[in-house]
Amino acid sequence: MAEGIAGIEDSPESWPVLDSDDLHRDSWVVSLRSDRITRPDADHEEPFRRLVLEHPGAAVVLAIDDQDRVLCLRQYRHPAQHRLIELPAGVCDHPGEEPLAVAQRELQEEAALQAAEWTPLLSTFSSPGYSSERIHYFLARGLRHADRGDFELRHEEADLETCWVPFADLVGAVLDGRVADGPVVQAVLAHEVARRRTS
């Protein structure tokens, strides 16, 4: 067994897929498939089934202004049956587009802002037991107003509210459970830890 820091690292691996069936696939962001897989070198074990929610990934923006306030969105999410405090975010659904470009686009489209400074915070798998989604988190500083261009807020986004929240207040809301959106929690806590390590 590996010990110490050198052994604490995820590694790419792919187990044999005997067959795969599409359970749902259309033009929307996600698809659902059923894979029948086996463990490598496990010749005498029965294959087993795993459902995979295919997702192209996403980018999330923690945008902080010169007064140490975070640009937050308040948005209805039907599956959760909640109006959640969120951060600007979007899906990596343009082939070849880098996550940073997605983050920059979403900040402009959802919040009508641009940023002069971009810092990577994290890159995490949302729920790897059933989903391929990987979310890339960025800190955006040096904010200024930007035109949305021809982007139109539709569906849930048409009901979007924006607000500025002091970073310390947002940390408190995350820690006491008033704000429970996973990407917000990860971005806020990652930035809080990074601040403490450099102070």
In whole angstroms, what is the distance from residue 108 CA to residue 90 CA?
Answer: 11
Identify the bridge partners of residue 73 per DSSP, sorted by sequence position: 86, 162
> Which pair of tokens denotes residue 5?
């820091």
> Which pair of tokens denotes residue 22?
């599409």
Q: Which residues are catalytic?
A: 157
Q: Kindly tell me the number of DSSP H helices and DSSP E strands found in the chain.
A: 3, 10
What SS3 state is found at 164? strand
In whole angstroms, what is the distance from residue 113 CA to residue 118 CA?
Answer: 13
The candidate with the shortest Cα–Cα distance to 66, out of 172, 140, 12, 155, is 140
Q: Hey, how many other C-beta atoms are within 10 angstroms of the C-beta on 121?
A: 20
